[in-house]
Amino acid sequence: MKIFKLVLSVLIALMIIISPFSVHKSVGMAAVQENYIINGGFESNFWDDGTWQVDNLNADVQYFAYSADTWIDVDEGEHAINYWMKEEGSESKSFTISQTIAALPAGSYELSIKTMGGEGNETGHVKLFAGEKTIDAVATSGYNAWDTINLSFTLEEETTNLQVGATVTGAANAWGYLDSFNLTAKNTDISEPVEAEIFVKKVSGLSEDFIKGVDVSSIISLEDSGVKFYNTSGIEQDIFTTLSESGVNYIRVRVWDDPYDSKGNGYGGGNNDLEKAIKIGKRATANGMKLLVDYHYSDFWADPAKQAAPKAWEHLSFEDKKTAVYQYTKESLQTLLDAGVDIGMVQVGNETNGKFVGESDWTKMSELFNAGSKAIREVDANIAVALHFTNPETGGRYETIAETLNKNKVDYDVFASSYYPFWHGTLDNLTSVLKNIADTYGKKVMVAETSYTYTYEDGDGHGNTAPKETGQTLNYPITVQGQANAVRDVMEAVVNVGDAGIGVFYWEPAWIPVGPANQLEGNKGMWEKFGSGWATSFAAEYDSEDAGAWYGGSAVDNQALFDFNGHPLPSLNVFNYVHTGAVARLEINEIKDISLSVVLGEKVELPETVTVTYNDGSSGFASVTWDTAALEQAIKDGVGTYLIEGIVDGGAKIKANLQIKPENYVLNPSFEELDRSMWKIEYGNDDAPHTDYQQKASDAKSGEYSLHFHSADAIDFTIEQTINGLKPGYYNLSMFLQGGDAEDSDMAIYAIANNVEYRTKTSVNGWVNWSNPEIDNILVVDGMVTIGASIKAAGGAWGSLDDFYLYRVGDYEEEIKEEEIKEEEAPKESESDGNQTGDGKGNEKNQASNNVEKDNKPAPSDLKNTSKSPVIETKKGKSLPNTATNTYNMLLIGLFLIATGGLTILWKKKYNRRSEK
């Protein structure tokens, strides 16, 4: 019996020793660190040893032994603090417990405490502080309901005599317990910034095991196409070695099931099957980097717009599809491990916002996620499971997804997000939405894809996704420094989540050209043969709408961290520099080109100095010398668009986009002058005035003033101005309009000349989303035109009008008497009076369409003097006429021919007389 007890004791001891090593490994867990707090567990009597200072004592604060309460759940150790707010008085009671830390080095820290106590009227409120930094008080929630309160803070420099502690408040009879007071350093690396080619601000709080990853899935196909990569010394080197030397510690690789057609032709995008993943994984492992396997569960690109199941799974039932996901994941993952690949994480799906393996029902999607997760857990429980989504900028999207995953009991560790700065909102928002998921659902979070462009140039002849003039937010300069700043800031945004923020992956930093842009045909051959472009023509059978229409090369060669010839850019080293910081020689990083618009005749003045941004992020002014000869020539040439180049001090170049516009004949067109008597505003149906000349620059297109409108009742007004003394000819008219909430709207810009009304409809589309309606080819014969706008909408509509512009575009050469016009163009009885707007079937037509010739030039019949003004609805984009109508041209030609004939007869008679002599 004694032997049995002895053996049993040994076994139990072994289990205790071994058990910590068999616990499932958490992603991103940090090692146990020093606690700067003395007597943080209150194991010694602080009243006796003075380790804690207690102030503002409106409470009974006791050194408490857990043994005194048999029902209490012990937090840790044998002692804690117990408090009870005194009954005297009705005011709120409080006390502060604090400790002064003699010295702390620069770095990031976390202060924490465990608390529990009363609820309802007996609730205690605990607020942590560290110097001036604090957080909102956290309420106790009941007996034995222990809660941990955390305060994270950063010290930019060494700090002495820092007071840390907690303030506890509550009503009379509030009570509670405090225990486990800890102050630990998250990062205290205070090394000096290194000398470099770029500036990088150190990221505070960045742990040593933070994931600094890159996705180089296209690399094998690029190397097969002849692309070479070099190290910083210009020597050809395995790119995986270069990446590792640059601070990269993780490689991401996408895996498609079968990215080939029936003849073995690859779909492109790297032709990333399992074989390619093994090759990439082995090279990553050999260079000390872990692998993230990104299963798309598709034969080609999977993203929010398309999540097609593999060809082999196309006709499977849902249950069979789940089995296929499970088996494929398990078998392929085991194959990778058997090849010696060090796998740290597996991604189940790619950007699965609303669809996965062809399924769009979240219940089914969740079951498929779990099928993949189950396979991963069975292969190796230490491999982290990630799910990947995108569009963090969409309000509530991630919260809804995370809540659904939790409700459907999906098993995963990491919530991963794409974040491209030009599409996906602010970094503060990214931190906020990821932190919400981490705090609410206890998940690790990371950015699985990010990138930024460093040049406007296209390297291979296939267009790039960025930068674009519209639809993208470009908050960083399009430079190598700007690229480095963008990457660094995304890492900081994830670090700011807290311990749950585990890393960032840069997407395709090596997808550079297979050949120069001027050798496009040769590049196409490489893309087709080796799959080194984003898609080949063979992918059309699987993805006809996207790849089938737009197949080609790299759309991100200007977002790579290598130049077009394979040499690493200084921005690649950002993965090292975020730990130390980096400094460089101060130089101009960005000079934004300027744009200047003037009216013909106005003085053209280009600025003598321009704003420049330096590579350390600061800004300043620099003198500029403009090409005066080009400027003088532009002024001489008159109306048009010109590009004037300049040289900034230091040699950098700048461009001025100069637009010289024709003279604006509208008086006070932007309402900036206080005399607005030239404008006439009328309201329909005796409505009360609901417009005003508003001084608010944010609502104006230019300057500070605009004509603002708003009414809870219907909007119905016109604003117009009559302009006299114009030279006969053709004119264009435009204005700017913005606003919103305009139901049942009828808005237009109009002009009336020679009793003919021209009109172009318009609308409002949101605040400062300016509409710019224009009327082309307004014929002015008598020197007078009335221009204006008509605005109608249901109650609640609002908006503003600004910058009316009337300018001359062509000559009117004929002067024909009104009697001749009437005789030549007498109206027929069957002609419309010009007010017809439809075809009787509810379909709008171009009004007075029978009286409008091509290019919107009015036919001569439009010039007749009628009691009603015919309406001509105009369209944009027509070419401008330079002469009068064809009818007048024919009259001129006829008169010329008659005169020529008469002269010929007279000459012939005279010639005959001479002959007779």
CA distances from 685 to 707, 787, 788 (A): 20, 22, 19
> What is the model's pLDDT at position 816?
47
How far apart (Å, rounded) are the C-alpha atoms in residues 691 and 671?
A: 13
Chain center to CA of 110: 32
Give the CA-trace dihedral at 293, 296, 301, 307, to 10 degrees.
-160
Q: What is the CATH number of domain 679-811?
A: 2.60.120.260
Hey, is 530 helix, strand or coil?
A: helix
Please identify, in words, the CATH class of the domain defined by 208-569: alpha beta
Is there a contact between 52 and 39 (Cβ–Cβ < 8 Å)?
yes
pLDDT tens-digit profile of 183-202?
998 776 666 899 999 999 99
Annotated active-site residue 87? The verdict is: no
Active-site pick, 110, 122, 359, 449:
449
pLDDT tens-digit profile of 406-430?
999 999 999 999 999 999 999 999 9
How far apart (Å, rounded) are the C-alpha atoms in residues 360 and 354?
A: 6
> Is the CA virtual torsion 320, 326, 332, 338 positive or negative?
negative
Q: Which of 237, 301, 294, 246 lies closest to 269, judged by CA?
A: 301
Does the structure show a pLDDT above 60 at 435?
A: yes
What is the chain's mean pLDDT, rounded?
87
Is there a contact between 670 and 705 (Cβ–Cβ < 8 Å)?
yes
What's the CA angle centered on 205, arms 199 and 208, to 5 degrees? 90
Hey, is 41 helix, strand or coil?
A: coil
Residue 279: is it exposed, middle or buried by C-beta count within 10 angstroms (0-12/13-18/19+)?
A: middle
Question: 209-233 burial string, b = 16+ CB within 10 Å, else e?
Answer: ebbbbbbbbbbbbbbbbebebbbbe
Edge-to-edge strands, sheet with 619-626: 588-591, 609-614, 619-626, 640-648, 653-661, 594-599
Residue 99 one-letter amino acid = Q
Of the given ranges (360-374, 603-617, 663-677, 828-842), which has the lowest mean pLDDT? 828-842
Is there a contact between 775 and 689 (Cβ–Cβ < 8 Å)?
no
How far apart (Å, rounded) are the C-alpha atoms in residues 182 and 201?
A: 29
How far apart (Å, rounded) are the C-alpha atoms in residues 459 and 457?
A: 6
> What is the model's pLDDT at position 858?
36
What's the CA angle centered on 51, arms 45 and 56, to 5 degrees? 90
Q: Which of 446, 445, 449, 291 lies closest to 383, judged by CA?
A: 291
Q: What is the CATH number of domain 46-187?
A: 2.60.120.260
> What is the model's pLDDT at position 231?
97
φ, ψ of residue 251 in degrees (nearest 5): -120, 135
Instruction: Print the SS3 string covering 363-413.
Output: HHHHHHHHHHHHHHHHHCCCCEEEEEECCCCCCCHHHHHHHHHHHCCCCCC
Is there a contact between 176 and 116 (Cβ–Cβ < 8 Å)?
yes
Is there a contact between 749 and 762 (Cβ–Cβ < 8 Å)?
yes
Structure tokens at 652: 């950098």
**Using the 8-state DSSP alphabet, how is residue 552 labeled?**
B
Does the structure show a pLDDT above 80 at 20?
A: no
How far apart (Å, rounded) are the C-alpha atoms in residues 698 and 509?
A: 40
Does the structure show a pLDDT above 60 at 853?
A: no
Q: What confidence category does residue 90 fall into, taking pLDDT thresholds of 50, 70 and 90?
A: low
Annotated active-site residue 873? The verdict is: no
Of the given ranges (169-173, 190-194, 382-386, 722-726), which has the lowest mean pLDDT? 190-194
How far apart (Å, rounded) are the C-alpha atoms in residues 250 and 213?
A: 4
Name residues whose C-beta falls within 8 Å of residue 155's C-beta, 6 or more positions apart in sequence.
104, 105, 106, 107, 108, 109, 162
Chain center to CA of 790: 37
Q: What confidence category does residue 909 fall into, taking pLDDT thresholds of 50, 70 and 90?
A: low
Q: What confidence category does residue 601 fall into, taking pLDDT thresholds of 50, 70 and 90?
A: confident
Q: What predicted TM-score, i.e. pTM, was given to this entire model? A: 0.64
**Using the 8-state DSSP alphabet, how is residue 875 labeled?**
-
Helix (H), strand (E) at residue 84? strand 79-85
Q: What confidence category does residue 907 fall into, taking pLDDT thresholds of 50, 70 and 90?
A: low
Instruction: Print the SS3 string covering 114-159.
Output: EEEECCHHHCCEEEEEECCEECCCEECCEEEEEEEEEEEEEECCCE
How far apart (Å, rounded) are the C-alpha atoms in residues 437 and 443?
A: 7
Of the given ranges (7-21, 437-451, 712-726), which has the lowest mean pLDDT? 7-21
> What is the model's pLDDT at position 896?
56
Q: What confidence category does residue 852 fall into, taking pLDDT thresholds of 50, 70 and 90?
A: very low
pLDDT tens-digit profile of 628-670?
999 999 999 998 999 999 999 888 899 999 999 899 999 999 9
Does the structure show a pLDDT above 60 at 725?
A: yes
Is there a contact between 124 and 169 (Cβ–Cβ < 8 Å)?
yes
Is there a contact between 186 and 203 (Cβ–Cβ < 8 Å)?
no
Structure tokens at 764: 């409002």
Structure tokens at 308: 């097609």
How far apart (Å, rounded) are the C-alpha atoms in residues 492 and 506?
A: 14
How far apart (Å, rounded) are the C-alpha atoms in residues 330 and 378?
A: 8
Does the structure show a pLDDT above 90 at 3?
A: no
pLDDT tens-digit profile of 108-160?
899 999 999 999 999 999 999 999 999 999 999 999 999 999 999 988 888 99
Active-site pick, 110, 122, 351, 757:
351
DSSP per-residue string spanning 452-504 = ----S--SSSSPPS---SSS----S-SSHHHHHHHHHHHHHHHHTT-TTEEEE
List beta partners, residue 101. Answer: 162
Does the structure show a pLDDT above 90 at 440?
A: yes
- β-strand pairing of 107-117 with 175-187: antiparallel
How far apart (Å, rounded) are the C-alpha atoms in residues 278 and 255?
A: 10
Helix (H), strand (E) at residue 659? strand 653-661
How far apart (Å, rounded) are the C-alpha atoms in residues 750 and 2?
A: 108
DSSP per-residue string spanning 244-304 = HHTT--EEEEEE-S--B-TTS-B-STT---HHHHHHHHHHHHHTT-EEEEEE-SSSS--BT
Residue linked to tokens 């050949």: 515
Name residues whose C-beta falls within 8 Å of residue 136's C-beta, 6 or more positions apart in sequence.
127
Q: Which of 781, 743, 776, 740 lies closest to 759, judged by CA?
A: 776
Cis-peptide, bond into residue 467, ω within 30° of zero: yes
φ, ψ of residue 374 in degrees (nearest 5): -60, -45
Hey, is 83 helix, strand or coil?
A: strand
Regarding predicted confidence, which is higher, 903 or 10?
Answer: 903
Chain center to CA of 746: 34
Name residues whose C-beta falls within 8 Å of residue 392's C-beta, 6 or more positions apart in sequence.
398, 417, 418, 419, 424, 425, 429, 430, 433, 434
